[in-house]
A and B are shown apart, each in its own frame.
Chain A
Amino acid sequence: MTELLQQTVSGLTTGLVYAALALAIALVFQGTGTLNFAQGEFATLAAFVSFALSTAGLSWWLIVPLLVVLAFVFGAGVERLLVRPVEGSGPLALLTVTAALLLGSNAVVALIWGTDVRSMASPFGGAVYHVGPLTFTAQAIGGGALVLLAMLLCGLIFRFTPLGLRLRAVADNPDSARLLGISTGVMLAVGWGIAAAVGAVAGLVAAPTLGLSPELMTNALLLALAAVTLGGFSSRLGAVVGGLLIGVLSNLASRYVPGIGGDLQLVVPFAVIFLVLLVRPQGLFGRASTVRA
């Protein structure tokens, strides 16, 4: 029982990283109707930047907010400069651009920092806490809290602020939004910025556990895409729950299902998704269109 709990906790910890990345992917998808394949690479880049900043001696209290701001500007800038010009060319052109961004940012990171895996010290220190029979590392607690905070803030912005209302309006019906005086272009850039900021937090939290390398988020991207599919592309909450479920499921499967070791563990979430989509094509939290004719 204790071990089951411990495995679940550790699955949730990795699941939070998938969840944050999945949320970022869902945000961009809702705004522009495209999958940003480079979302994971943005997060990797953010992890390297935070590594560089901390090596330069900055305090983590400064690095985290700075990273969020930088990532926001970066994401918004990418939308403006690289995505906007091809926006009218259809979803396939957009997909191609994000795929190119994936390869491009991966190459840039490898060029600057090399391809060796570096170890990055946890911003939260190396302490280990025992709560009853369970063990928590400071990295797991701090990282989990940070990701949760980022997702919560993002949710609050979308749900309760005028900016969030505009972002949701543009995602829902851009033509109509324009007629109400909303600058859709600005909102799309802001959406990409917020997504990149949430992703940056995911990268920062993943790096100390997984080791810093250009491949940091490669698997995480696949699992985050799976999480979004599982939760439903139209639901931010769904993306987050999907990420957590996938983290826990793959962890438990590798521990308890005979024959599934570390390598096959990646397959498990996809099998689950396959089954879910057979029953609910719109995902667990997705809306099957509620629109009346």
Chain B
Amino acid sequence: MTGLLEVTGLTAGYGGVRVLHSMDLTVAENEIVAVLGANGAGKTTLLRALSGTVKAGGGISFAGRALNGTSAARIARSGLGHVPQGRGTFTALTVEENVRLGVISRPASTRAQADGDLDRIYDTFPVLREMRRRPAGALSGGQQQMLALARALMARPRLLLIDEPSLGLAPLTSADMFSVLARLREEWSLSVLLAEQNARASLKVADRGIVLARGRVVAAAPAAELAADAGLRAAYLGESPDGLTGVSS
């Protein structure tokens, strides 16, 4: 099976420090893949390397085209969306202006449907419709995360890279976030590469998971299998075998 995204021997780093070491990865059409790993494992760097915001070596092929050496702006316009860690909100712009910025990297053939998509997005995230004339900087963390997703969806991406959507969110808000993600795949025929520290929640929505440690893939398996593997979770995800995160008695 050839995937929508095929990554072989990917390396990346900052300055002289190499963070990713020869990484292989495939994401198929309409698949959700969770990227798990502790802090510093290389999840964010992997996503940045794919979206062209960090220099990368090795092979990246997306929808049959090589992305190496392509500018971040051009990669975005080729249908690969990136919801960055920290949400990347344009704080001085209104909520609706933020969402409309997503239209820029839309394929020309779907420009005409932009208004319809905006309505759909507002139906999925009603709070954004309510607040559409407010400055985006005034939204709460959870609302800004919704906004970042909405903006990325407006570009009609085929693959969405989502970095730590639950970071800094209250547990309930975070649960909302994951249930929205599961719905979006069907409604927007998306593939998703989801980097998360919250292994449990992300494996619930994902088809497959890969586990990173020190810049390498140390495990790759269907989500259910990974979720059941208590030893793996203890070794790489900072969970104790009974499932309590990072607490030792």
A178 touches B72 (CB 8 A): yes
Binding site for A on B (CB under 8 A): 51, 53, 71-74, 76-77, 81-82, 84, 88-93, 97, 100-102, 104-105, 135, 137-141, 151, 155
Q: How far is the CA of A239 from the CA of B73 in the complex (A)?
A: 31
Which of B77, B84, B100, B135 contacts A176, CB < 8 Å? B84
A287 CB–B CB distance under 8 Å = yes
**Please, which residue of chain A has its CB at the minimum distance from the CB of B76?**
A181
A180-B105, A290-B135 given as contacts; is B73 within 8 A of A173 (CB)?
A: no
A165-B97, A291-B137 given as contacts; is B89 within 8 A of A176 (CB)?
A: yes
Q: Can you add 20 more A-B contacts, CB < 8 Å, to A165-B100, A168-B93, A172-B91?
A: A162-B104, A166-B101, A166-B104, A169-B90, A169-B97, A169-B101, A176-B88, A179-B81, A179-B88, A180-B101, A180-B102, A180-B151, A181-B77, A181-B104, A181-B155, A182-B104, A183-B73, A291-B137, A292-B138, A292-B141
Q: How far is the CA of A173 from the CA of B89 in the complex (A)?
A: 7
A87 CB–B CB distance under 8 Å = no
A175 CB–B CB distance under 8 Å = yes
Binding site for B on A (CB under 8 A): 162, 165-166, 168-169, 172-173, 175-184, 234, 287, 289-293
6 A–B pairs (Cβ distance < 8 Å), ordered by A: A166-B104, A179-B84, A179-B88, A181-B105, A182-B104, A184-B73
A173 touches B91 (CB 8 A): yes
**Please, which residue of chain A has its CB at the minimum distance from the CB of B78?**
A181
What is the distance, in angstroms, from A237's C-beta to the closest C-beta of chain B? 13
Q: A residues within 8 A CB of B53? A: 175, 178-179
Q: A residues within 8 A CB of B71? A: 183
A166-B104, A290-B138, A292-B137 given as contacts; is B76 within 8 A of A180 (CB)?
A: yes
